[in-house]
Amino acid sequence: MRVNLDGRVLAYDDTGTDDPPVVLLHGFPFNRRIWDRQAEAISPRFRVIRPDLRGHGDSPPGPGPSRMEDLAGEVVRLLDHLGVGPAVIGGLSMGGYVALAFYRLFPARARALVLADTRAGADTPEGRNARHEMVALVREEGAHAVADKLLPKMLSPRASAALKDALRTLMASTSVEGVAGALLGMAERADSTDLLPRIECPTLIVVGAEDAITPPAESEAMAKRISRSRLVVIESAGHVSSLEQPEAFNRALEEFLLAEVGPR
Ligand code: MLT
């Protein structure tokens, strides 16, 4: 489905029925298809809303950086359009940065949070430089070059060739301006560490035991600062734990949702 939010087109899937809705925000440079296995697993009990964030999947890029606050604002406008009140806001990696920005801006709209393979801190100066180098790479060589560069860190070394190929194809399908905008937006994102003790809703933190991009230590640090959090480490999974070990990820997600939020 697609919606035009005052001139900005956002593509999304909306499946399942029961409240409270669960919003799943993909990472970079992915799209909503990354959540297929989760939507399939929890849609019988929960309504699942999955947008393509600006510049990813079927949502066109905007001008300039895709700031995390702007992406969070588009998510809340999508929820307004759908008539959805407080929802579970979940995100993987960049989706987690957007989920934290969402909580900072619209805390009353978050019934619970799911922070998967993500971190609260901002980029280091070296990290920012690496983002700018990648912006140059995507503009010179295209999204497939970025996909080739990122792929070795996305999954655990034991991931199947078929899974690696599928993820490379998905990443390479993102538009050049979508990739560049997200990189620039992530480079200038705020440090959310101070927000963590102010998070009052139940929060599930999930991380692949072999996540090389946002290692488990980042998740442990977030779990210590968020009072109503539970931490689940997924064995035999790298950065995209939801894709690499969907059964274990879905079990953690469903147990959390049933224990903390419903269905009503
Ligand atoms: C992601 O998976 O969204 C990215 O690895 C996040 C990042 O580059 O910081």
Give pLDDT tens digits along the chain (264 positions): 999 988 889 999 999 987 789 999 999 999 999 999 999 999 989 999 999 999 999 999 998 999 999 999 999 999 999 999 999 999 999 999 999 999 999 999 999 999 999 999 999 999 999 999 999 999 999 999 999 999 999 999 999 999 999 999 999 999 999 999 999 999 999 999 999 999 999 999 999 999 999 999 999 999 999 999 999 999 999 999 999 999 999 999 999 999 999 865
Residue whose CB lies within 8 A of the most ligand 1 atoms, among 93, 137, 154, 186, for a mutation test: 93
* Residue 261: other Cβ atoms inside 10 A: 19
Distances (CA, A) of 213 to 91, 93, 207: 15, 9, 11
For atom 7 of ligand 1, which residue has the closest CA? 94
- With residue 168 as reference, give the H or E element that holds it: helix 161-172
Question: What separation in angstroms does the CA of 249 have from each of 11, 37, 185, 242?
Answer: 25, 10, 27, 5
Q: Please indicate whether residue 28, judged by its CB atom, sits closer than 6 Å to ligand 1.
A: yes
Establish whether residue 213 lines the binding site of ligand 1, counting it when its CB lies within 6 angstroms of any ligand atom: yes
Determine whether the shortest distance from the Cβ of 186 to ligand 1 is under 6 A: yes
d(CA 93, CA 118): 4
Q: Please tell me whether residue 14 adopts helix, strand or coil conformation.
A: strand
The span from the CA of 203 to the CA of 196, in Å, is 10
Q: At what angle do helices 176-187 and 125-141 cross, to 10 degrees?
A: 170
The answer for residues whose C-beta is within 8 angstroms of residue 125's C-beta and 6 or more apart is none
Q: What is the CA radius of gyration of the chain?
A: 17
Task: Name the residue with the closest Cα to ligand 1, atom 4.
Answer: 28
